Amino acid sequence: MFDLDQIPAESDTASDLEEVVMGLIINSGQARSLAYTALKKAKEGDLAAAHQLMAQSREALNAAHLVQTQLIEGDQGEGKIPVTLVLVHAQDHLMTSMLARELISELIELHEKLQSK
C-alpha cells in the first residue's frame, strides 16, 4: 500500500501533489483488485479466503480514503489544491472501487447463502 507517512505536510509543487494523487490511485486500485479476487474465491467455494481478501480490500480502501481526506483538509474548500485531470482520475478510481467493493460484498453474501443450501 501507499505509505501515508511519505506524504509531504504541504504539497507546494506539482510533483508532490502528483505523488499524493498516486496514493489514491494505487490504494483504490489495490482495494478493487483484492475485492475481485475475493469474489473469485467465493465462486470457488473458499469463503474464508474471500472474507480475508475483503478485509485486506477494506484496509486498502481506508488508506485511499485517508489520502482523500487529507487532500480535502488541505484544500479547506478554498481551491488551494489545483484540480488536475489526474486528480479527477484518482477520484473516479476511488469511487468506482468503493462501488465495486460494495457490490462484490453483496455477491459474496449470495454465494454464502447458495453454498449453505
The pLDDT profile of the chain, 117 residues, written as one tens digit per residue, is 545 555 555 445 567 788 888 989 999 999 999 999 999 999 999 999 999 999 999 999 999 999 888 888 888 878 888 888 989 999 999 999 999 999 999 999 999 999 988
Q: Within 13 Å of residue 105, how many CA atoms lie on the same side as its CB?
A: 13
pLDDT of residue 11: 43
Class for the domain spanning 22-116: mainly alpha
Ligand-binding site membership of 75 (annotated): no
* Active site annotation includes 51: no
Q: Are 55 and 43 in contact (CB under 8 A)?
A: no
Long-range contacts for 102-108 (Cβ within 8 Å, ≥24 apart)?
104/35, 104/36, 104/38, 104/39, 104/54, 105/35, 105/54, 107/39, 107/42, 108/38, 108/39, 108/42, 108/47, 108/50, 108/51, 108/54
pTM: 0.82
All structural domains of the chain with their residue ranges: 22-116
Residue 82 in grid coordinates: 489545483
- The conformation of residue 10, written as its DSSP 8-state character, comes to S
Between CA 103 and CA 33 the distance in angstroms is: 13
Give me the catalytic one of 51, 65, 89, 93: 89
How high is the pLDDT of residue 5?
Answer: 55
**What does the chain come to in residues?**
117
